Amino acid sequence: MSEAVPILSTHGLVAGYGDFQALFGVDFEIVPGEIVALIGANGAGKSTFLRAIMGLLPSRRDMIRFDGAPIGGAPTHSMVGRGITMVPEGRRLFTGMTVEDNLRIAMDCARSSARRSESAPWTIERLHELFPILADKRGTPVERLSGGQQQMVAIARALLGQPRLLLCDELSLGLAPAVIRDIYRSLPLISATGTAMILVEQDVGLAKTTSHRLYCMLEGRMTLTGRSENLDQAAITDAYFGSHHAVA
């Protein structure tokens, strides 16, 4: 996949919150259909990196490129229109509304976007095949779902935007191992449609086995990158902590 043209790349990306700088010269790339894991301890800058891509944090225009065009600092709605969607940490579903309502809102937004077409790969019916429980729970208010079911709704909602690039922030956070396995089994099916995925994950083993390539962040900088299958535990440990510690 490394020979393909990147769908998204960053070039010396810096970003932060007011006077606090959180990213320091981050270089990154991902190609269509690729799953790239981004690992690192709490505070390493992983979520900040996703927020910068989505236009939620200011950055210089030429620091982020999508399809070769500079998009850094562009409004979030324009990112969605280009085909970048996000599953945020904490899911952020519309409470007081059913599963079906949450998905219908996403569909309505997609219909008004240039990304929507008759050949769009993701429909509610297709998502029911991906996550059958959503069909069973279609009339259930989302706040009455389990955490894993809510995460499936959040993923389905993002997919209805017909993304070319899907940003996933801590999909496994707070979920039972069996539920995590169910969710992560869906990721290769999503990437098989050509959608690229950036997967922020603290579980190093899960990130490594799910992804094609892996980046590690430490204190706002990339400390390691390579094909996931080729990275050994010692290299990941050093990159993750910056010193010799064991990573579970």
- Domains of the chain by residue range: 8-93+163-241
Which is it for the CA torsion 153, 158, 159, 165, positive or negative?
Answer: negative
pLDDT tens track for 65-113: 999 999 999 999 899 899 999 998 877 898 899 999 999 988 877 665 5
Residues contacting residue 88 through CB under 8 Å, at least 6 positions apart: 154, 169
The hierarchical CATH code for the domain 8-93+163-241 is 3.40.50.300
Helix (H) or strand (E) segment spanning residue 7: none
**Residue 248: per-residue pLDDT:** 47
User: Residue holding tokens 């535990």?
Assistant: 233
Which is it for the CA torsion 129, 189, 248, 169, positive or negative?
Answer: negative
pLDDT tens track for 18-38: 999 999 999 999 999 999 999
Average pLDDT, the chain: 91
